[in-house]
Amino acid sequence: MIELDFSIKSSIPKEIDPARVGEMTAALIQESVLVGDLILSFDGIDCSARWGWIPILDCAVCLSAIAVELARSPRAIERFEFTENEASILFARNGDAVRIAPTYVPLSALVPLNELESAIRSFRERAFASAVTALPGLEQCAGFLELRGHA
């Protein structure tokens, strides 16, 4: 079983004026709204990145793109790279399974592709819903709508 979740340390950076949310770009939203920890475990084995600074929407968008690429090829290899450091998570598909190997812990896991896709979809939905809760004006922001439309 895959647990893919997040915990938020900061919803809105100090430099963002809630009155000017409609002017925010997709890139600013992706990198600045919802910052915290990535929670990742496989059958109870914890591979979380509890660093407090991970941009959760960026993570959601990137993992969604990875899921699309993994679905396209039975031998796809994709990598999620964290911003701000050299850590990454390797995703290597082999038929109906995906080997997930974070560089920041000496562990890896083999998970069913469909279970990973479902976990990523759920993660993305919760991340975008949390962003709207934190900053309600995002629902009318062109940058947010553009970001939400990816993958």
- From first to last of its 151 residues, the chain has per-residue pLDDT tens of 899 999 998 777 666 666 677 778 888 888 888 999 999 998 888 999 999 999 999 999 999 999 999 999 999 999 999 987 899 999 999 999 999 999 999 989 999 999 999 999 999 999 999 999 988 888 888 888 888 986 4
Give the DSSP letter of residue 140.
G
Give pLDDT, residue 135.
Answer: 84
CA distance 32 to 86: 19
| Helix (H) or strand (E) segment spanning residue 102 | strand 97-102
Query: How would you classify the pairing of strands 45-46 and 35-42?
Result: antiparallel
pLDDT of residue 141: 85
- The per-residue pLDDT for 91 is 98
pLDDT at 136: 82
Domain count, the chain: 1
pLDDT value of residue 68 = 97
pTM above 0.85, yes or no: yes
Residue 55 has what pLDDT?
94
pLDDT of the residue at 27: 85
Confidence at residue 81, expressed as pLDDT on a 0 to 100 scale: 96
- Strand bridging mode 35-42 / 49-55: antiparallel
Q: How far from chain centre, in Å, is Cα 148?
A: 12
Q: What is the pLDDT of residue 6?
A: 97
CATH number at residue 92: 3.30.2450
Give alpha helix (H) positions in the chain.
Answer: 26-32, 56-72, 113-134, 142-149
Q: Return the closest-CA partner of residue 27 out of 63, 71, 51, 57.
A: 57
CA 151 to chain centre: 12
Cα 78–80–81 angle (5° rounding)?
130
CA distance linking residue 17 with residue 22, whole number of Å: 10
Residues 6+ apart with CB under 8 A from 61: 30, 124, 147, 150, 151
Residue 19 confidence (pLDDT): 67
Q: What's the confidence (pLDDT) of residue 43?
A: 84
Domain that holds residue 7: 2-149
